[in-house]
Amino acid sequence: MEIRACLILLFYLVFYGFLAALFTFTMWVMLQTLSSDIPKYRDRISSPGLMISPKPDTALEFYFNKSDAQSYAEYVSTLRKFLESYDDSKQSQNINCTPGRIFDQNDVAVKKACRFNLSELGQCSGKEDKTFGYSKGTPCVLVKMNRIIGLKPEGEPRIHCTSKTAWGALKALEEGMVEINYFPPEGLIDLMYFPYYGKSLHAHYLQPLVAVQLAINSNSTKEEIAIECKILGSPNLKNEDDRDKFLGRIAFKVQMTE
Amino acid sequence: LLQKKSDVYSVEDLWDKRSRKTDIGDEEEKYKDLKGNKKKRRQKTLRKKWRTFYSLSFSLSFGIQDDHKLSASELEEKYGTSVNKGLSSARAAEILARDGPNSLTPPKATPEIVKFLKQMVGGFSILLWIGAVFSWISFGIQLAQGAESPFDNLYLGVVLALVVILTGIFAYYQEAKSTNIMASFSKMIPQQALVIRDAEKKELPADQLVVGDIVEIKGGDRIPADIRLIFTQGCKVDNSSLTGESEPQSRSCDFTHENPLETRNIAFYSTTCVEGTATGIVINTGDRTVIGRIASLTSGVGNEKTPIAIEIEHFVYLVAGVAISIGVLFFIISVSMRYKILDSIIFLIGIIVANVPEGLLATVTVSLSLTAKRMAKKNCLVKNLEAVETLGSTSIICSDKTGTLTQNRMTVAHLWFDNQIYSADTSEDQTTQPFDQSSPSWTALSKIVTLCNRAEFRPGQENLPIMKRVVVGDASETALLKFAEVILGDVMSIRARNRKVAEIPFNSTNKFQLSIHETDDPNDKRFLLVMKGAPERILERCSTIMINGKEEPLDSEKAEAFQTAYMELGGLGERVLGFCHLYLPEDEFPDTYPFDTDSMNFPTSNLCFVGLLSMIDPPRSTVPDAVSKCRSAGIKVIMVTGDHPITAKAIAKSVGIISATSETVEDIAKRLNIPVEQVNRREATAAVVNGMELKDMSLQQLDEILCNHSEIVFARTSPQQKLIIVEGCQRQGAVVAVTGDGVNDSPALKKADIGIAMGIAGSDAAKNAADMVLLDDNFASIVTGVEEGRLIFDNLKKTIAYTLTKNIAELCPFLIYIIASIPMPIGTITILFIDLGTDIIPSVALAYEKAESDIMNRRPRNKRKDRLVNEQLAVYSYLQIGIMQSVGAFITYFTVYAEQGFLPSTLLGVRVDWENNAINDFEDSYGQQWTKYQRMYLQWTGYTAFFVSITIQQVADLIIRKTRRNSIFQQGLFRNKVIWVGIFSQIGIALILTYGLGHVTALNFTPLRFQYWFVAVPFAILIWVYDEVRKLFIRRYPGSWWDKNMYY
């Protein structure tokens, strides 16, 4: 009985050992066929998604009291942390590229990253206003486009946001509930930041940012304002996908109290 | 002191012994009590039923009332009919509308809705219902929490419920269909009746008969209703299906008994008219007939579970047990890993769905019904699908003799003339007789056989083979007529040429039959007197004997030779007839001589003895082969017959039920010349048990006989005793198949594990009680059925092994998903598409697989040990092939993710972020960022890849499951074409799902890159190679550790 149990144990040890070895070997062979620079296929992400920073824990909804620093402390610290990598000191290796042109580096072995000046974010750069406008009722939200290797946007891509009241009427803007300012102006995303060459080749790459400053009218506090930002002006960047609500667009809500 | 001590001991010993003895005695008594009481109770209820039945028969409500006492004219008046003109069609239609058709109401069936609901909760359905309910609960919770996509769970629940309902409907439909086979069978041959209506003779379907109809019956007809006879001519009926009496009984118009069951002027529904003709008035139809009443009295004997039902139940418990225990285990693991309860519940559903082979029960049903169809082609009509397999596990067949083992017609088997015994051909399709026909004695004998015979062929059958023609006449005369026709040609013209001038028919006092003929020799003016009858009576009347055509005086030596021959033929169980003749001298009996059969004005003694002919109901030619097949298949064949022991033993010997070398106790006694009592009963392998002996036997004695003798014949048994024999066999733990045809066989047929009714000779009651109907009444068909039954058992094993394997490949993703927190490798809906989509046709295809070896060369399966799903099967499928499949599928999964940018190392532990709807910049191994939907789409691609890999490896699984022991190359890859249909359907369905329905989001399939179809191919090949190695070792080292653990 003992021997029989041992035999069975031994058998499965050998059997599973063999399978594990086979699995490891096959995986190794498979990984050898892959390049470490770019993935084999990129067809599943042909168009980038949009994302914002700070990203509230609750599903993209900002709630804060402009007179209570504690209520937006997390947003501010997130923004600050996010912008750390954009600090001038970290960008010493980056070069100044020609604005308005795709920065093609296919033939160059060492890919250079373009400099993104924080000053472009104006009031939202966090240099003048350490609270990114949250204390003044003009909160800043950074909008960024997902990195996709080899993506070359066409035309003049820019971020454009609209706002609605929570019950959907597109009147918020007209009624002056909120005024939206963009940094860089008109929310332009410069083509010189494209294409991206991937983590290993393009280590210092910084994706361009657009800061959206919401100047919320003091009458419309306590009002929940829905903002939707879209990427416009580029024919090859989709922003109307039925299923993917984040493909070239993003929606979030802001509610400010005093 | 010592002495004293020993005394004490001895006393104690004695006391001990005694107490033990009484214990045993008690136990025996208890045993007897239990069994005996049960039997007694049954007998009591049976007896009670008969008593009520008898008392009913005298009461007004019985229906026959006193019709048997009335005269024809009184009857005419009572039923408003006329013997000559019959009913008018209009009146008949009225009565038909009032009484309903003349057919038995089928036994009360379970209401359809109950049957349907049973299918909805049977088997795995409960597990799936639980899954569905959990899905809905989690949907409700998610909805209340306001999650973003709660509808996934709602859909999943709906899909699960749909799966249960659809498979339930399918199973219900299958059952209904198999029930319908039986119904269609009874409709296949509508019985016709010859009726006088509107003063015309009409052929009507028997169910159109009404009370008061005048019907005509002739030999061979089945009595279409209860009939009061008003005119008969030599009419005999076979009441065996009603009363069990095997002798045909004569019917007349006379009132002979108070009891309508005993009186001769009533013929009962469903009995057969053996010979003669009769006309009668229908007095009862349909359920009001005597048979109808018995049928309703005896229905309601419960059925026991069939072996395959037990096996499937065992299998369902096993799989459900695995599903629930793994589910609960991982529920606990996931809860303790701090997963949310809701998520844990969703995992639980996934695990259940992955573990339950949703399509399997439907597949089993289809496989069984395919086999049932195949068996129907071979004349075994299966009423209850599960009986298909029961037949395969049969270990004892209790077979009738007449009609099943034999051809059910008397045939001349031996002849004796010129002091020599000749054998005749008794096969079904004889056209000539091989024995030496040159002797002048044979010429004389053949003349007697031809002339002294009243049987005639029904006209209009000249084109039929002689043996198939219908004859009017009793069994022996028919045999002689056919025998003569085969050898001499046209018997009727011979009779015409030898005109009959006088005749004394056979009667029981004379025991002979005599006729006087002119001869066809124009030069011979003498009359020829021919006589046949019981040999000893014929010999008494003879003074000479014909040897080689010459008359020689019958001395004691020749008489001795006659006795020896007579004894020998009688000992073969054959019915022997003697033949003699006498040429009447021309001077005493001139042309014009007035023969008078009453005064017997001609000699009936001092005749010339010519020869003997012996007849037997010969075995069917296919039976000996079938019996020997049973023998090698380890099936004991027991003959149970109402016939005489000698005949029964002779037939048993000739078909091999009693083998040539074995002896009965009586045989040994005779050989050793000692009294029967002194014979060691263990030495005798064969036994012939008389019904009278059986009556006085205790159950233990019967058990002893059944246990100790391998070859048993029960002779002179009543149908009731059959039940006792069946119970005895079942006490030995045997799976018993019983054949039967009469109404009285029904209890035995029901009691048996598989009751087999005769399709031709069987009564409706027997057919109703049986699980199977033999369309050709042939024993050999049972053996074919056994073969099919064994094959389907083997093939079901293969089907289940095939189906279980991929459950692991479906389950592993869940387990690894929970433990390693990788993105979900396969979705619940995708699993259902494997279980109910790609895998269905292949698993049915395994039912068409040919046997690997001669399945009729092994013993019947032991229902306690040889399970359908045994440990080896489960372990090999789950822990070996299943794991290999999982590995192959995971390789594909990781390949798909890696080639899209997520290297395996990135995937581990990402589950929470991966599934977070708010994270839309999820970074892959190359620094790219993915939105949630992009990730989901990739996840579905992973599902599809996993699905495709399982499908590809299931092709290999299908091929390896073709055999359990032999190499695939021994079995042949292309012998079972249906397997290829299965493989192509599997791949075809997978192609349609991925490329055709790849854009339907809800199904979670995506068009897959073509090369991913081939990632798992090396693993498929590995599975094949591994299984070939397994089989090789099993064949090489039988009985080894490998064989014991790897053979399922």
Q: Assess whether A11 and A131 both reside in one domain.
A: no
Alpha carbon B743 to chain centroid distance?
17
Chain A residues within an 8 Å CB radius of B920: 49-51, 146, 246, 250
Tokens of B504: 């004394």
Tokens of A252: 């979030």
* ipTM value for the complex: 0.94
Q: How far is A167 from chain B (nearest CA, A)?
A: 18
Q: Is B930 on the interface with A (CB under 8 A)?
A: yes
Judged by average pLDDT, the poorest of A86-100, B820-834, B973-987 is A86-100
Q: Residue B153's closest CA among B163, B167, B162, B143?
A: B143
Q: What is the spatial distance between Cα B343 and Cα B323, in angstroms, rounded to a whole number?
A: 18
Taking CA atoms, A153 is separated from A48, A105, B786, in Å, by 10, 15, 75
CB contact under 8 A, B920 and A146: yes
Q: Report whether pLDDT(B639) > 70.
A: yes
Tell me, what DSSP letter sits at residue B730? H
Greater pLDDT, B740 or B165 = B165
CATH number of the domain that residue A128 is part of: 2.60.40.1660
Query: What pLDDT score does B49 carry?
Result: 46
Residue A101, domain member (yes or no)? yes
Chain B residues within an 8 Å CB radius of A244: 931-934
CB contact under 8 A, B926 and A39: yes
What is the pLDDT averaged over residues B908-913? 89
Tell me, what DSSP letter sits at residue A114? B
Q: Assess whether A190 and A104 both reside in one domain.
A: yes
Q: Assess whether A65 and A11 both reside in one domain.
A: no
Query: What pLDDT score does B109 carry?
Result: 63
Catalytic residue among B152, B400, B794, B839: B400
Q: Assess whether A108 and A137 both reside in one domain.
A: yes
Strand (E) positions, B464-587? 471-472, 500-504, 512-518, 527-533, 542-547, 550-553, 575-584
Q: Report whether pLDDT(B64) > 60.
A: no
Which of A30, A42, A55 comes nearest B918 by C-beta? A55
Q: How far is B883 from chain A (nearest CA, A)?
A: 9
Taking CA atoms, B318 is separated from B383, B487, B737, B876, in Å, by 28, 67, 29, 15
Residue A16, domain member (yes or no)? yes
Chain B residues within an 8 Å CB radius of A38: 926
CB contact under 8 A, A243 and B1001: yes
CB contact under 8 A, A49 and B931: yes
Q: Assess whether A7 and A52 both reside in one domain.
A: no
Q: Assess whether A109 and A26 both reside in one domain.
A: no
Per-residue model confidence as pLDDT tens for chain A (258 residues): 678 888 889 999 999 999 999 999 999 999 999 998 889 998 888 899 999 988 877 678 888 888 888 888 889 999 999 998 888 888 888 888 888 888 888 888 888 889 888 888 888 888 888 888 888 888 899 999 999 998 999 988 999 988 876 555 555 555 667 888 898 888 899 999 999 998 888 888 988 999 999 888 777 667 788 888 999 988 889 888 888 889 999 988 888 887
Residue A38, domain member (yes or no)? no
Q: Could you give the percent of chain B with pLDDT greater than 70?
A: 89
Residue A221, domain member (yes or no)? yes
Q: How many domains does chain A have?
A: 2
Q: How far is B147 from chain A (nearest CA, A)?
A: 10
Q: Report whether pLDDT(B293) > 80.
A: no
Q: Assess whether A26 and A49 both reside in one domain.
A: no
What is the pLDDT averaged over residues B738-749? 77
Judged by average pLDDT, the poorest of A197-201, B561-565, B717-721, B828-832 is B717-721
Residue A163, domain member (yes or no)? yes
CB contact under 8 A, A199 and B879: no
Q: Are B638 and B399 in contact (CB under 8 A)?
A: yes
Which of A31, A34, A148 comes nearest B928 by C-beta? A148
In B548-619, which residue ranges form alpha helices assigned H by DSSP? 556-571
Q: Assess whether A91 and A164 both reside in one domain.
A: yes
Residue A39, domain member (yes or no)? no
Q: What is the spatial distance between Cα B159 and Cα B113, in angstroms, rounded to a whole number?
A: 23
Q: Report whether pLDDT(B166) > 90.
A: no
Residue A40, domain member (yes or no)? no
Q: Residue B360's closest CA among B150, B552, B127, B524?
A: B127
Q: Assess whether A11 and A99 both reside in one domain.
A: no
Query: What pLDDT score does B246 carry?
Result: 56
Greater pLDDT, A171 or B682 = B682
Which of B903, B927, B932 comes nearest A246 by C-beta? B932
Q: Is B931 on the interface with A (CB under 8 A)?
A: yes
What is the pLDDT averaged over residues B755-771? 78
Q: Report whether pLDDT(B370) > 90.
A: no
Q: Residue B784's closest CA among B398, B306, B392?
A: B392
Q: What is the spatial distance between Cα B920 and Cα B969, in angstroms, rounded to a whole number?
A: 55
B490 classed as catalytic: no
What is the pLDDT averaged over residues B43-51? 45
Domains of chain B: 72-89+190-300 (2.70.150.10), 381-406+621-777 (3.40.50.1000), 411-602 (3.40.1110.10), 808-1046 (1.20.1110.10)
**Peptide bond connecting B619 to the previous residue in cis, omega within 30 degrees of 0:** no
Chain B residues within an 8 Å CB radius of A49: 920-921, 929-931, 934
Query: What pLDDT score does B106 carry?
Result: 66
Query: What pLDDT score does B46 carry?
Result: 46
Residue A216, domain member (yes or no)? yes
Chain B residues within an 8 Å CB radius of A144: 921
Q: Could you give the percent of chain B with pLDDT greater than 90?
A: 25
Mean pLDDT for chain B? Answer: 83
Q: Assess whether A103 and A144 both reside in one domain.
A: yes
Query: What pLDDT score does B50 carry?
Result: 45
Q: Report whether pLDDT(B8) > 50.
A: no
Alpha carbon A241 to chain centroid distance?
18
Q: Report whether pLDDT(B186) > 80.
A: no
Number of residue pairs across A and B with CB atoms under 8 Å? 117
Angle at B10 between CA B7 and CA B14, to 5 degrees: 145
Q: What is the CA radius of gyration of chain B?
A: 38
CB contact under 8 A, A38 and B926: yes
What is the pLDDT averaged over residues B286-312? 68
Q: Assess whether A161 and A193 both reside in one domain.
A: yes
Task: State which residue of chain B sits closest to A241, comparing Cα positions.
Answer: B933
Structural domain that includes position A99: 45-256
Q: Are B349 and B139 in contact (CB under 8 A)?
A: no
Tokens of B667: 């045989």
Q: What is the spatial distance between Cα B436 and Cα B446, in angstroms, rounded to a whole number?
A: 13
Q: At what angle do helices B112-121 and B125-145 cross, to 10 degrees?
A: 70
What is the pLDDT averaged over residues B862-886? 89
Chain A residues within an 8 Å CB radius of B879: 12
Q: Report whether pLDDT(B43) > 70.
A: no
Chain B (886-925) residues lying within 8 Å, Cβ to Cβ, of chain A: 887, 890-891, 894-895, 898-901, 903-904, 917-918, 920-921, 923-925
Q: Assess whether A10 and A107 both reside in one domain.
A: no
SS (H, E, C) B746-786: HHHHHHCCEEEEECCCCCHHHHHHCCEEECCCCHHHHHHHH
CB contact under 8 A, A200 and B1045: no
Query: What pLDDT score does A29 carry?
Result: 94
